[in-house]
Structure 1
Amino acid sequence: MINDESDEEQQQYTSRTPGEVIGREVDFVAGKGTYSWHHKVVASVVGLQHIIPPSPDAADQRPTVEVRRQEEQGAVPEPGVVVTAKIRKVQPRMAVADVLCVGTRAVRENFRGIVRQQDVRSTEIDKVDMHTSFRSGDIIRAEVLSLGDARAYYLSTAKNELGVVSATSDAGVAMVPINWQEMQCPVTLQKEFRKVAKVC
Protein backbone atom coordinates (compact mmCIF):
# COMPACT_ATOMS: atom_id res chain seq x y z
CA MET A 1 0.00 0.00 0.00
CA ILE A 2 2.84 2.38 0.87
CA ASN A 3 4.54 1.65 -2.44
CA ASP A 4 1.32 2.40 -4.34
CA GLU A 5 0.98 5.77 -2.61
CA SER A 6 4.63 6.61 -3.35
CA ASP A 7 4.20 5.77 -7.04
CA GLU A 8 1.04 7.88 -7.20
CA GLU A 9 2.76 10.83 -5.52
CA GLN A 10 5.74 10.52 -7.87
CA GLN A 11 3.41 10.62 -10.90
CA GLN A 12 1.54 13.59 -9.45
CA TYR A 13 4.65 15.79 -9.25
CA THR A 14 6.58 14.68 -12.34
CA SER A 15 8.58 17.47 -14.02
CA ARG A 16 7.37 18.36 -17.51
CA THR A 17 8.73 20.46 -20.36
CA PRO A 18 6.95 22.00 -23.40
CA GLY A 19 6.15 19.44 -26.09
CA GLU A 20 6.37 16.45 -23.74
CA VAL A 21 3.48 13.97 -24.00
CA ILE A 22 1.77 13.50 -20.63
CA GLY A 23 -0.88 10.95 -21.54
CA ARG A 24 -3.90 10.16 -23.70
CA GLU A 25 -7.03 12.28 -24.05
CA VAL A 26 -9.10 9.23 -23.20
CA ASP A 27 -7.45 9.21 -19.75
CA PHE A 28 -7.06 12.95 -18.99
CA VAL A 29 -8.67 16.33 -19.57
CA ALA A 30 -6.09 18.90 -20.71
CA GLY A 31 -5.90 21.65 -18.07
CA LYS A 32 -3.72 24.72 -17.56
CA GLY A 33 -0.20 24.42 -18.96
CA THR A 34 -1.21 21.67 -21.42
CA TYR A 35 -2.96 21.24 -24.77
CA SER A 36 -4.52 18.42 -26.79
CA TRP A 37 -2.83 17.12 -29.93
CA HIS A 38 -3.68 13.97 -31.92
CA HIS A 39 -5.64 12.49 -28.98
CA LYS A 40 -2.71 13.14 -26.62
CA VAL A 41 -2.26 15.65 -23.79
CA VAL A 42 0.98 17.63 -24.22
CA ALA A 43 2.75 20.03 -21.83
CA SER A 44 3.02 23.67 -22.97
CA VAL A 45 5.09 25.09 -20.06
CA VAL A 46 7.99 24.07 -17.83
CA GLY A 47 6.75 22.86 -14.48
CA LEU A 48 5.35 20.09 -12.29
CA GLN A 49 2.46 17.87 -13.32
CA HIS A 50 -0.63 18.02 -11.10
CA ILE A 51 -3.57 15.61 -11.45
CA ILE A 52 -6.93 16.95 -10.28
CA PRO A 53 -9.65 14.33 -9.63
CA PRO A 54 -13.12 14.99 -11.08
CA SER A 55 -15.99 15.92 -8.78
CA PRO A 56 -18.24 12.94 -7.95
CA ASP A 57 -21.22 14.43 -9.81
CA ALA A 58 -19.29 15.48 -12.94
CA ALA A 59 -20.46 13.99 -16.24
CA ASP A 60 -16.84 13.54 -17.35
CA GLN A 61 -15.05 11.35 -14.83
CA ARG A 62 -11.59 11.83 -16.33
CA PRO A 63 -9.09 13.60 -14.04
CA THR A 64 -7.71 16.95 -15.23
CA VAL A 65 -3.95 17.21 -15.67
CA GLU A 66 -2.18 20.56 -15.28
CA VAL A 67 1.45 21.64 -15.53
CA ARG A 68 2.28 24.38 -13.05
CA ARG A 69 5.45 26.42 -13.31
CA GLN A 70 8.12 25.38 -10.84
CA GLU A 71 10.70 27.40 -8.98
CA GLU A 72 14.09 27.91 -10.58
CA GLN A 73 16.67 25.28 -9.68
CA GLY A 74 19.93 26.65 -11.05
CA ALA A 75 20.65 24.27 -13.94
CA VAL A 76 23.51 25.11 -16.34
CA PRO A 77 23.59 24.23 -20.10
CA GLU A 78 26.33 21.86 -21.29
CA PRO A 79 27.24 20.63 -24.80
CA GLY A 80 25.14 17.62 -25.79
CA VAL A 81 22.20 18.29 -23.49
CA VAL A 82 18.71 19.27 -24.64
CA VAL A 83 17.39 22.64 -23.48
CA THR A 84 14.10 24.49 -23.71
CA ALA A 85 14.43 28.10 -24.85
CA LYS A 86 12.25 31.06 -25.80
CA ILE A 87 12.96 32.84 -29.08
CA ARG A 88 13.74 36.50 -28.42
CA LYS A 89 14.69 37.76 -31.87
CA VAL A 90 14.84 36.35 -35.41
CA GLN A 91 17.45 37.61 -37.88
CA PRO A 92 18.18 36.52 -41.48
CA ARG A 93 21.01 34.16 -40.44
CA MET A 94 20.22 33.33 -36.82
CA ALA A 95 17.63 33.29 -34.06
CA VAL A 96 18.49 34.52 -30.56
CA ALA A 97 16.85 32.76 -27.61
CA ASP A 98 16.78 32.76 -23.82
CA VAL A 99 17.39 29.34 -22.26
CA LEU A 100 14.55 28.48 -19.85
CA CYS A 101 15.53 25.04 -18.66
CA VAL A 102 18.12 22.32 -19.07
CA GLY A 103 16.41 18.96 -19.40
CA THR A 104 13.54 19.26 -16.92
CA ARG A 105 15.35 21.72 -14.61
CA ALA A 106 14.75 25.47 -14.81
CA VAL A 107 17.72 27.84 -14.95
CA ARG A 108 18.46 30.52 -12.39
CA GLU A 109 20.84 32.67 -14.43
CA ASN A 110 20.24 34.22 -17.84
CA PHE A 111 21.74 32.09 -20.61
CA ARG A 112 21.51 33.18 -24.21
CA GLY A 113 21.34 30.71 -27.08
CA ILE A 114 21.83 31.19 -30.82
CA VAL A 115 20.37 28.94 -33.52
CA ARG A 116 22.38 29.57 -36.69
CA GLN A 117 20.91 29.04 -40.14
CA GLN A 118 23.05 25.95 -40.72
CA ASP A 119 21.81 24.39 -37.45
CA VAL A 120 18.04 24.67 -38.02
CA ARG A 121 17.63 21.37 -39.88
CA SER A 122 19.81 18.62 -41.31
CA THR A 123 18.67 18.77 -44.97
CA GLU A 124 18.56 21.57 -47.59
CA ILE A 125 20.45 23.84 -45.22
CA ASP A 126 20.99 26.50 -47.91
CA LYS A 127 17.20 26.86 -48.31
CA VAL A 128 16.47 27.50 -44.63
CA ASP A 129 14.48 30.71 -44.02
CA MET A 130 14.85 31.78 -40.39
CA HIS A 131 11.59 33.79 -40.45
CA THR A 132 9.54 30.74 -41.48
CA SER A 133 11.34 28.52 -38.98
CA PHE A 134 10.87 30.59 -35.81
CA ARG A 135 9.09 33.67 -34.52
CA SER A 136 9.63 35.80 -31.44
CA GLY A 137 7.94 34.23 -28.43
CA ASP A 138 8.18 30.64 -29.72
CA ILE A 139 9.28 27.97 -27.25
CA ILE A 140 11.80 25.58 -28.77
CA ARG A 141 13.53 22.36 -27.80
CA ALA A 142 17.17 22.38 -28.91
CA GLU A 143 20.47 20.60 -28.36
CA VAL A 144 23.47 22.53 -27.05
CA LEU A 145 26.32 22.31 -29.57
CA SER A 146 28.94 24.42 -27.82
CA LEU A 147 29.62 27.65 -25.98
CA GLY A 148 29.86 30.25 -28.75
CA ASP A 149 30.92 33.88 -28.71
CA ALA A 150 29.92 36.48 -26.13
CA ARG A 151 28.71 33.86 -23.63
CA ALA A 152 25.97 32.62 -25.96
CA TYR A 153 25.45 28.90 -26.52
CA TYR A 154 25.17 27.56 -30.06
CA LEU A 155 21.97 25.54 -30.29
CA SER A 156 20.74 23.06 -32.89
CA THR A 157 17.22 22.02 -33.91
CA ALA A 158 18.42 19.75 -36.72
CA LYS A 159 16.94 16.53 -35.28
CA ASN A 160 13.28 15.56 -35.84
CA GLU A 161 12.42 15.80 -32.13
CA LEU A 162 13.91 19.30 -31.89
CA GLY A 163 12.33 22.61 -32.93
CA VAL A 164 9.25 24.63 -31.97
CA VAL A 165 7.17 22.95 -29.26
CA SER A 166 4.89 25.85 -28.33
CA ALA A 167 3.78 28.94 -30.25
CA THR A 168 1.03 31.53 -29.81
CA SER A 169 -1.16 32.73 -32.66
CA ASP A 170 -2.15 36.33 -33.37
CA ALA A 171 -5.41 35.54 -31.53
CA GLY A 172 -3.39 34.77 -28.38
CA VAL A 173 -4.14 31.05 -28.50
CA ALA A 174 -1.66 28.16 -28.23
CA MET A 175 -1.14 26.80 -31.74
CA VAL A 176 -1.33 23.11 -32.62
CA PRO A 177 1.30 21.41 -34.84
CA ILE A 178 -0.21 19.85 -37.97
CA ASN A 179 3.00 18.65 -39.67
CA TRP A 180 6.76 19.10 -39.41
CA GLN A 181 6.68 22.62 -40.90
CA GLU A 182 3.27 24.10 -39.99
CA MET A 183 1.25 25.02 -36.90
CA GLN A 184 -2.39 26.10 -36.82
CA CYS A 185 -4.48 28.35 -34.59
CA PRO A 186 -7.43 26.25 -33.33
CA VAL A 187 -9.64 29.37 -33.19
CA THR A 188 -8.98 31.19 -36.48
CA LEU A 189 -7.62 28.07 -38.29
CA GLN A 190 -4.82 30.27 -39.65
CA LYS A 191 -1.66 28.30 -40.47
CA GLU A 192 1.90 29.50 -39.88
CA PHE A 193 5.23 28.02 -40.91
CA ARG A 194 7.59 26.73 -38.23
CA LYS A 195 10.40 24.20 -37.80
CA VAL A 196 8.12 21.98 -35.70
CA ALA A 197 9.51 19.50 -33.18
CA LYS A 198 8.16 15.98 -33.50
CA VAL A 199 6.18 15.09 -30.39
CA CYS A 200 8.01 12.27 -28.60
Structure 2
Amino acid sequence: MTKHYSECGRIRTDFFIPADAILGYPDGIVNDPIAAERRLRYIDFSSKLHAVLGPMLGSKYRLFEGLTVLTSVGLAGPAVRVDCLAVTCIGVFVISQIDWVGKVDRSVDKDKLQVSTAGARTELHPCPLRYTAPVVHYLGAILDDVDCPIESIAVSDNETCEFGLDISTSFLKLSELHYFFRVKREHYRRSGARFVDIEVMQKRLLIGCMRVLTT
Protein backbone atom coordinates (compact mmCIF):
# COMPACT_ATOMS: atom_id res chain seq x y z
CA MET A 1 0.00 0.00 0.00
CA THR A 2 1.30 3.47 -0.80
CA LYS A 3 0.23 6.98 -0.02
CA HIS A 4 1.39 10.23 -1.58
CA TYR A 5 2.64 13.19 0.41
CA SER A 6 3.36 16.22 -1.74
CA GLU A 7 5.57 17.69 0.96
CA CYS A 8 8.31 15.07 0.71
CA GLY A 9 7.47 12.80 -2.21
CA ARG A 10 6.20 9.27 -1.92
CA ILE A 11 6.12 7.13 1.17
CA ARG A 12 5.45 3.43 1.61
CA THR A 13 3.21 2.54 4.52
CA ASP A 14 3.14 -1.25 4.13
CA PHE A 15 6.37 -1.56 6.15
CA PHE A 16 4.87 0.25 9.14
CA ILE A 17 1.36 -0.60 10.26
CA PRO A 18 0.29 1.54 13.25
CA ALA A 19 -1.10 -0.82 15.84
CA ASP A 20 -1.07 0.86 19.23
CA ALA A 21 0.06 4.04 20.95
CA ILE A 22 1.34 5.42 24.22
CA LEU A 23 0.47 8.94 25.30
CA GLY A 24 3.05 10.37 27.65
CA TYR A 25 6.04 8.30 28.70
CA PRO A 26 6.23 4.49 28.77
CA ASP A 27 7.43 2.61 31.84
CA GLY A 28 11.12 2.99 32.59
CA ILE A 29 11.57 6.25 30.70
CA VAL A 30 10.20 8.74 33.22
CA ASN A 31 13.50 9.00 35.10
CA ASP A 32 15.74 8.73 32.06
CA PRO A 33 18.10 11.76 31.65
CA ILE A 34 17.31 11.99 27.94
CA ALA A 35 13.58 12.00 28.71
CA ALA A 36 14.12 14.67 31.35
CA GLU A 37 15.92 16.88 28.83
CA ARG A 38 13.16 16.23 26.30
CA ARG A 39 10.55 17.25 28.87
CA LEU A 40 12.31 20.54 29.62
CA ARG A 41 12.45 21.25 25.91
CA TYR A 42 8.74 20.46 25.59
CA ILE A 43 7.79 22.70 28.53
CA ASP A 44 9.53 25.66 26.89
CA PHE A 45 8.03 24.87 23.48
CA SER A 46 4.51 24.30 24.82
CA SER A 47 4.54 27.68 26.58
CA LYS A 48 5.14 29.28 23.18
CA LEU A 49 2.30 27.23 21.66
CA HIS A 50 -0.04 28.30 24.47
CA ALA A 51 0.87 31.93 23.77
CA VAL A 52 -0.33 31.47 20.18
CA LEU A 53 -3.36 29.21 20.69
CA GLY A 54 -4.72 30.67 23.93
CA PRO A 55 -5.66 34.16 22.66
CA MET A 56 -7.05 32.70 19.43
CA LEU A 57 -8.97 29.62 20.59
CA GLY A 58 -9.54 30.33 24.27
CA SER A 59 -10.27 27.08 26.08
CA LYS A 60 -11.05 25.18 22.89
CA TYR A 61 -7.77 23.31 22.59
CA ARG A 62 -5.59 20.84 24.49
CA LEU A 63 -1.87 20.10 24.23
CA PHE A 64 -0.58 16.58 24.88
CA GLU A 65 3.06 15.83 25.54
CA GLY A 66 4.62 12.97 23.64
CA LEU A 67 2.68 10.45 21.55
CA THR A 68 4.45 7.23 20.60
CA VAL A 69 2.87 5.07 17.90
CA LEU A 70 3.92 1.42 17.81
CA THR A 71 3.87 -0.97 14.90
CA SER A 72 2.06 -4.28 14.73
CA VAL A 73 5.28 -5.80 16.10
CA GLY A 74 4.54 -4.15 19.44
CA LEU A 75 6.86 -2.66 22.02
CA ALA A 76 9.81 -4.64 20.66
CA GLY A 77 9.34 -3.24 17.17
CA PRO A 78 9.83 0.16 15.54
CA ALA A 79 8.06 3.15 16.97
CA VAL A 80 7.49 6.77 15.99
CA ARG A 81 7.39 9.49 18.63
CA VAL A 82 6.03 13.00 18.15
CA ASP A 83 6.85 15.96 20.38
CA CYS A 84 3.37 17.40 20.79
CA LEU A 85 -0.22 16.76 19.83
CA ALA A 86 -2.60 19.71 19.67
CA VAL A 87 -6.31 18.84 19.79
CA THR A 88 -8.20 21.97 18.80
CA CYS A 89 -11.67 23.01 17.72
CA ILE A 90 -10.32 23.40 14.17
CA GLY A 91 -8.55 20.06 13.93
CA VAL A 92 -5.83 17.84 15.32
CA PHE A 93 -2.23 18.86 14.69
CA VAL A 94 0.76 16.55 15.01
CA ILE A 95 3.56 18.99 15.85
CA SER A 96 7.28 18.34 15.43
CA GLN A 97 9.71 20.82 16.93
CA ILE A 98 12.80 21.51 14.84
CA ASP A 99 15.82 23.64 15.73
CA TRP A 100 17.74 23.65 12.46
CA VAL A 101 19.97 26.59 11.56
CA GLY A 102 20.30 27.42 7.87
CA LYS A 103 18.36 26.97 4.65
CA VAL A 104 16.14 23.90 4.30
CA ASP A 105 15.75 22.24 0.88
CA ARG A 106 14.83 18.87 -0.56
CA SER A 107 17.55 16.25 -0.85
CA VAL A 108 18.19 13.29 -3.14
CA ASP A 109 16.90 11.05 -0.36
CA LYS A 110 13.14 11.65 -0.26
CA ASP A 111 13.04 10.66 3.39
CA LYS A 112 15.38 13.49 4.34
CA LEU A 113 15.83 17.23 4.00
CA GLN A 114 19.02 19.14 3.36
CA VAL A 115 20.02 21.98 5.67
CA SER A 116 22.77 24.29 4.42
CA THR A 117 24.53 26.07 7.26
CA ALA A 118 27.15 28.81 7.43
CA GLY A 119 30.47 27.95 5.82
CA ALA A 120 28.79 25.89 3.07
CA ARG A 121 28.31 22.99 5.44
CA THR A 122 25.42 20.65 4.59
CA GLU A 123 23.49 18.47 7.01
CA LEU A 124 20.81 15.88 6.32
CA HIS A 125 17.83 15.53 8.66
CA PRO A 126 14.84 13.15 8.55
CA CYS A 127 11.78 14.83 7.07
CA PRO A 128 9.42 15.36 10.03
CA LEU A 129 6.29 15.10 7.88
CA ARG A 130 7.31 11.71 6.50
CA TYR A 131 8.54 10.51 9.88
CA THR A 132 5.23 11.32 11.60
CA ALA A 133 3.04 9.88 8.81
CA PRO A 134 2.31 6.70 10.86
CA VAL A 135 1.01 8.91 13.68
CA VAL A 136 -1.39 10.64 11.30
CA HIS A 137 -2.52 7.21 10.06
CA TYR A 138 -3.09 5.99 13.60
CA LEU A 139 -5.08 9.05 14.60
CA GLY A 140 -7.09 8.72 11.39
CA ALA A 141 -8.00 5.18 12.44
CA ILE A 142 -9.13 5.96 16.00
CA LEU A 143 -10.95 9.11 14.85
CA ASP A 144 -12.38 7.57 11.70
CA ASP A 145 -16.01 8.31 12.56
CA VAL A 146 -15.31 11.86 13.72
CA ASP A 147 -15.33 14.64 11.16
CA CYS A 148 -12.02 16.18 12.10
CA PRO A 149 -9.01 17.17 9.96
CA ILE A 150 -5.66 15.73 11.06
CA GLU A 151 -2.50 17.48 9.93
CA SER A 152 1.22 17.17 10.55
CA ILE A 153 3.31 20.33 10.88
CA ALA A 154 6.92 21.11 11.79
CA VAL A 155 7.69 24.26 13.76
CA SER A 156 11.05 25.99 14.15
CA ASP A 157 11.58 28.46 16.97
CA ASN A 158 14.85 29.54 15.40
CA GLU A 159 14.13 32.56 13.22
CA THR A 160 17.38 32.09 11.28
CA CYS A 161 15.94 28.95 9.73
CA GLU A 162 14.94 29.54 6.10
CA PHE A 163 12.65 27.23 4.13
CA GLY A 164 13.28 26.83 0.40
CA LEU A 165 10.57 27.58 -2.15
CA ASP A 166 9.90 23.88 -2.77
CA ILE A 167 9.43 23.08 0.93
CA SER A 168 5.87 22.49 2.11
CA THR A 169 4.03 25.30 3.89
CA SER A 170 3.52 22.78 6.70
CA PHE A 171 7.03 23.83 7.75
CA LEU A 172 6.69 26.98 9.81
CA LYS A 173 8.68 29.38 11.91
CA LEU A 174 7.23 30.05 15.34
CA SER A 175 6.55 33.63 14.27
CA GLU A 176 4.35 32.31 11.43
CA LEU A 177 2.26 30.03 13.63
CA HIS A 178 -0.31 32.66 14.58
CA TYR A 179 -1.10 33.41 10.94
CA PHE A 180 -1.21 29.67 10.14
CA PHE A 181 -3.88 28.96 12.77
CA ARG A 182 -5.71 32.16 11.95
CA VAL A 183 -6.07 31.01 8.33
CA LYS A 184 -7.21 27.55 9.50
CA ARG A 185 -9.84 29.07 11.77
CA GLU A 186 -11.12 31.38 9.05
CA HIS A 187 -11.33 28.49 6.58
CA TYR A 188 -13.40 26.56 9.13
CA ARG A 189 -15.80 29.46 9.52
CA ARG A 190 -16.18 30.02 5.79
CA SER A 191 -16.70 26.32 5.04
CA GLY A 192 -19.64 26.14 7.43
CA ALA A 193 -18.15 23.05 9.10
CA ARG A 194 -18.99 22.39 12.74
CA PHE A 195 -16.17 23.15 15.12
CA VAL A 196 -14.60 20.07 16.67
CA ASP A 197 -15.79 19.08 20.16
CA ILE A 198 -12.45 18.86 21.94
CA GLU A 199 -13.90 16.99 24.92
CA VAL A 200 -15.09 14.21 22.62
CA MET A 201 -11.73 14.20 20.84
CA GLN A 202 -9.82 14.06 24.10
CA LYS A 203 -11.85 11.10 25.38
CA ARG A 204 -11.38 9.27 22.09
CA LEU A 205 -7.64 9.91 22.21
CA LEU A 206 -7.32 8.59 25.76
CA ILE A 207 -9.32 5.47 24.88
CA GLY A 208 -7.27 4.94 21.72
CA CYS A 209 -3.91 5.03 23.51
CA MET A 210 -2.41 2.12 25.38
CA ARG A 211 -1.92 4.08 28.57
CA VAL A 212 -1.26 7.54 29.88
CA LEU A 213 1.49 8.03 32.42
CA THR A 214 1.62 11.22 34.45
CA THR A 215 5.08 12.60 35.16
Q: TM-score range by the shorter chain?
A: under 0.3
Q: Which has the higher strand share?
A: 1
Greater length-normalized contact order (CA 8 Å, ≥ 6 residues apart): 2
With normalisation by structure 2, the TM-score equals 0.24
Q: Which has the higher helix share?
A: 2
With normalisation by structure 1, the TM-score equals 0.25
